[in-house]
Amino acid sequence: MSRSATLSLQPSLLSVVDNNRLRLFSGSANISLAQEVARYLGIDLGPMVRKRFADGELYVQIQESIRGCDVYLIQPVCHPVNDQLMELLIMIDACRRASARQITAVLPYYGYARADRKTAGRESIAAKLVANLITEAGANRVLAMDLHSAQIQGYFDIPFDHVYASPVLLEYIASQKLSDIVVVSPDVGGVARARAFAKKLNDAPLAIVDKRRQAHNVAEVLNVIGDVRGKTAILVDDMIDTGGTISEGARLLRQEGARQVYACATHAIFSPPAVERLSSGVFEEVIVTNTIPIPADRQFEQLTVLSVANVIGETIWRIHEDSSVSSMFR
């Protein structure tokens, strides 16, 4: 079974929320997270009708006046990705046509983020396409958490607030009183993320799992750059999809003498066969957040789910009050 935890962030001036202007609505992707955010802000989720017609088309209706209001729409673009994205676009369009003053798309998870550049000819940059769709639908601002690629912020010509789950993850890790920590990037591409994480853990040492394919159709050769022998290794990534990369890295760390191995990621996509890989015994604990809902059949004994609702709620409040967001992460 999973264990849940939450960041002990305290509301800042939330007792004076302007209920006449701030409106919060949730798509169908992660209603439980949206409810937690609403509780943090001390308001209710706005009433909305969502349904699907016989041919599969989606229908959305906002059931209260939002004329002149600042509207925040919470909808991670997770499985089923295309349905959740389309629902978000329809929600934005409905709010625009209802004369909302400002519409902020709150994306705890940004789908299509891995398609952020062309790696071969005749490919789409779908992350940019999604940015265009959200903007053209009528969003005035975007709030997203732990983008796979920070450059996606530049795909938008509207204000973009990029926030991080690291305060939640770091607080939990600190509470576990782990010793001899080494932070590990599961691939070369995640080194910057792992380095920033290690710095917040009292400048913990850093290691990297380096994967190299010697030739076509030849198995990958894995190497660990850094000392992990006798240490508690924390593999840090932005997301876990099928779990292949992070599980291979964990097995290698065990072979190299790591005493314990933890996985730490923001987004728990958990596409098959992720659960089998993550629960195979190579990890002491798999620590993720609730940006994406995790159904019961994808939970397992080593899983710990932390809530990012307070971080998202505090960010919404600061945007609404025209206060600094970046200062939350200093």
Q: Would you name the residues annotated as active-site residues?
A: 211
Give the bridge partners for 23, in sequence order. Answer: 71
* Bond preceding residue 295 cis, omega within 30 of 0: no
How far is 295 from 21, CA to CA, in rounded Å?
Answer: 34
End-to-end CA distance of the chain: 34
What distance in Å separates the CA atoms of residue 164 and residue 266, rounded to the nearest whole number?
A: 9
Helices 166-175, 191-200: axis angle to 10 degrees equals 50
Place of tokens 């079974």: 1
Q: 193 near 187, Cβ under 8 Å?
A: no
Q: Phi/psi at 89 (nearest 5 deg)?
A: -60, -40
Count Cβ atoms within 10 A of the Cβ of residue 211 and give its class: 0-12 exposed, 13-18 middle, 19 or more buried: middle
How many whole angstroms separate alpha carbon 274 and alpha carbon 52? 30
Determine the angle formed by the axes of helices 309-320 and 31-41, rounding to 10 degrees. Answer: 50
The beta strands (E) that lie in the chain are given as 3-6, 22-26, 48-52, 58-62, 70-74, 102-107, 141-145, 160-163, 181-185, 206-213, 220-225, 232-240, 260-268, 285-289, 303-307
Give the integer Cα–Cα distance in Å for 43 and 301.
Answer: 34
